[in-house]
Copies of this chain bind each other. A is one copy, B any other.
Amino acid sequence: MQVDIIAEAEELDNSGKRFFIDRWERDVSNLNSGYGITAVLEGGGLLEKAAVSISVVSGTLTPARARAMCERGRPGVDIQGGQPYAATALSLVFHPAHPKVPTLRADVRRFEVGGSAWFGGGCDLTPAYLNEADARAFHAFWRRLCDRHRPAPSLYEECKAACDAYFYLPARREHRGIGGVFFDDMAAGAPGGGGAVVAEAFACDVAAGVLPSWRGIAAARRQDAFGPAEREWQLLRRGRYVEFNLLIDRGVRFGLDGGRVESIMVSAPPLVAWRYMAEPKIGSAEAALLAVLREPRTWA
């Protein structure tokens, strides 16, 4: 799937640039082992920076991580840590060059410890400019996909609410983007929530849906006009993306605690700005985005 996504991303990018494919092996000094393939395209046409990565690691749960998992109610985890675990993930981030094309983030992951396995993942959109038709189309796509796995009680509504809840930056009182779907701690083969979702099949479907959910939006929005003011706003919004990732994101914070830093920080935008009190004017397109980031809407 990584290979397929890379091939389609290069085609969409359409600049002749290729992903740099970086295979790495994990330092085994701390009883952990594993490998990964971090694929990065920088300075493309559509994609100012894109990363499509996999990792396959195993090791021993640290007490901090074990405690966090117990607090989230995972059964079979010894709160003291020390159990062997195995984790695999496919993750993706696209930071488009064009300010009107939304940033895309997605991942799917499998985690195994103490004889149980869980799936997690999701796909969400972080625009610098709100396009309501795009937001509706994106969410409608994910509702249809989720409905194939559990229409009632609605898996989409559960994953949409989880996405809004997770991608929230309390210091700014802003959600990171306009959401999408997010799920975690979905037990393999067991009912997810109230109905029967086969977690692995759902995770595979989520991964397969990532590019189809975004490519139409990207193709339309890259035709829109923009100037230096829109570019600056995009760079400022990327600042919020960095703030969320470094302050809040569980994957980033746990990952930086002993993980391969370049494979984690590859999700950072290529160019980012911070300006004091960069509040948009009332009634502007920038203010319309902030309104929906402060109060998430129902899109589908």
Residues in chain A within 8 A of chain B (CB atoms): 20, 22, 38, 40, 42, 49, 51, 170-172, 235, 239, 242-243, 246-247, 253, 256-257, 261-262, 264-266, 268-277
Q: Pick the contact of A276: B42, B235, B276 (CB < 8 A).
A: B42
Are A271 and B270 within 8 A (Cβ)?
A: no
CB distance from A111 to the nearest CB of B (A): 21
Bound CA span A40–B20, Å:
40
Are A20 and B272 within 8 A (Cβ)?
A: no
User: Do A272 and B272 contact each other (CB < 8 Å), given the known contacts A172-B261, A246-B247?
Assistant: yes
CB distance from A119 to the nearest CB of B (A): 27
Number of copies: 2
Residues of B near A51 (CB, < 8 A) are 276
Are A270 and B261 within 8 A (Cβ)?
A: no
User: Could you pull out 25 A-B pairs where Cβ atoms are within 8 angstroms?
Assistant: A20-B276, A22-B277, A38-B276, A42-B275, A42-B276, A51-B276, A171-B257, A171-B261, A171-B264, A239-B268, A242-B242, A242-B246, A242-B272, A246-B247, A247-B253, A247-B256, A265-B274, A269-B274, A270-B273, A270-B275, A271-B272, A271-B273, A272-B272, A272-B273, A272-B274
CB distance from A194 to the nearest CB of B (A): 35
Bound CA span A247–B255, Å:
12
Bound CA span A246–B241, Å:
12
Bound CA span A297–B170, Å:
39
